[in-house]
Amino acid sequence: MASNVLMEDEEACPDCGSGHVVQDYVRGELMCDDCGLVLNGNFFDRGPEWSAFTPEERESKSRVGPPVGAGSSVLNLTTDIPLPRKDWRGKSLDTRSKDRFRRMRTLHRQSKTSAPGERSLVQAHRVLERMGSQLSLPQHVRSEVALIYKRAMKEGLVRGRSIETVTAASIYVGCKMTGLPRTLYEICTTLSQDRRKVRKAASAITRNLRLKVPLPEPMDFLGRFCSELDVDQGISRRAAQILSDLTDIQAVTSKSASGTAGASIYIASIMEGRRVAQKKISDVVGISEVTLRSRCKEIKRLLDLELEWARGRSPSPKKTFTGS
């Protein structure tokens, strides 16, 4: 059965001027579908040598795997030598044969990571997969983090630091670059890393690799914080409106975008009459309750909100009392 592929606007027929040019893979010809003129009789079929008529058959006959991305631990073939226990006749192998296969497996595994630094790269790949699962990072973020780690390793930034620390710092930088920022508190708490070491490693990566890391916006954290706090849509919309008003007046409330997002949620819960506890917000955002109150007072001053609360007490909307 001939397999023809229509090539619209690729080449016009010189005889009739038609643009309906097809490729006949069976005859190896490039021909006009209207007048039948053969434009090229030496056309090569670059497709597979097998034929498949169903998607299942095509998938079963395919001998290629997914493309190797930046998150792959090795860039060569990942073929592995199994450890057999029986020979081709079904008889159990003796001890000498098992030791020989075990030695072959060890040499094969070491040959895949023979270049300097590749062994640590394989270990870092495993650490990245574990940390990415704990933080629920999507695959494109993990690929970006793996690329940052490889560049950091080539620049010698891993020397003197643990693989876990550099991987956590790469995650912190990579999340910012992909538009899905995570707070340093969240990363270090989830991954059980020292915050000071991770911050210093992240600064070294950004400086030495000359990365243009965009500053996170409070709106980048709002959706995730609202989901973790389990607030309703009314509070989420009110908090988004507060952040939008701050953007309109071009007000910078603090250096911490996550703190601004947490303060907007707190103020929105007060305005909606369903106050969320300060302790609950501070635990999710990763700031202290004192910092949260300071951010709230700053937003209140900038937007001239009619809210007031006493120190150490639950804030409530401002009420106007009239005399009798």
Name the pairing type of β-strands 29-32 and 20-24: antiparallel
Contact in structure between 175 and 181 (CB atoms under 8 Å) = yes
The confidence band for 2, taking pLDDT boundaries of 50, 70 and 90, is very low
Residue 44's pLDDT is: 64
Burial class of residue 157 in the structure, from the number of CB atoms within 10 Å of its CB (0-12 exposed, 13-18 middle, 19+ buried)? buried
Residue 90's pLDDT is: 83
Mean pLDDT, range 220-238, rounded to an integer: 92
Please tell me which residue, 115 or 157, carries the higher pLDDT value.
157
Residue 5's pLDDT is: 47
Q: Which domains does the chain have, with CATH numbers?
A: 4-40 (2.20.25.10), 118-208 (1.10.472.10), 218-316 (1.10.472.10)
Lowest mean pLDDT among 78-82, 99-103, 105-109, 297-301: 78-82
The confidence band for 227, taking pLDDT boundaries of 50, 70 and 90, is very high
Q: What are phi and psi of 251, to 5 degrees?
A: -100, 135
Summarize pLDDT for 264-306 with one digit per residue, the tens.
999 999 998 889 999 999 999 989 999 999 999 889 888 888 7
Q: Judge whether residue 203 has pLDDT over 60.
A: yes
Residue 320's pLDDT is: 43
Q: Judge whether residue 98 has pLDDT over 70.
A: yes
Q: What are phi and psi of 289, to 5 degrees?
A: -65, -30
Summarize pLDDT for 114-149 with one digit per residue, the tens.
566 667 787 888 888 899 999 989 988 998 999 999
φ/ψ region of 278 (left if φ > 0, alpha if ψ in -120 to 50, else beta) reads alpha
Residue 121's pLDDT is: 80
